[in-house]
Amino acid sequence: MTVGQELSKITNLKLLQNHITIDLLVPLFGFTPEVWRLCHLFRKERRAGRTKNKINIPILKKELLL
């Protein structure tokens, strides 16, 4: 995530790596369907919270950097 970290420094925008949620849940649940369910739920809630609170945090997808 070196590119994302550098962009965060340059733009002063916040960076949240998707793997943070995975890294949090895997030690508790292993690589099970429950991990993916919770990851998707967290990401959905994060987007909803960002919209509800009018927080402008861009989503940077790796595919856009290619």
Mean pLDDT by 10 residues, the chain (66 residues): 78 75 90 92 82 66 49
Asked if 62 and 41 touch (Cβ cutoff 8 Å), the reply is no
Model's pTM, two decimal places? 0.59
Residue 30: the pLDDT is: 93
CA–CA separation, 27 and 6 (whole Å): 28
Q: Determine the structural domain holding residue 53 and report its residue range.
A: 2-65
Residue 66: the pLDDT is: 42
Helical packing angle, 19-29 and 33-52, nearest 10°: 140
CA–CA separation, 11 and 57 (whole Å): 11
Q: How many domains does the chain have?
A: 1
Q: Around 49, how many Cα atoms within 13 Å sit in the side-chain half-sphere?
A: 6
Residue 10: the pLDDT is: 85
Number of residues assigned to the chain: 66
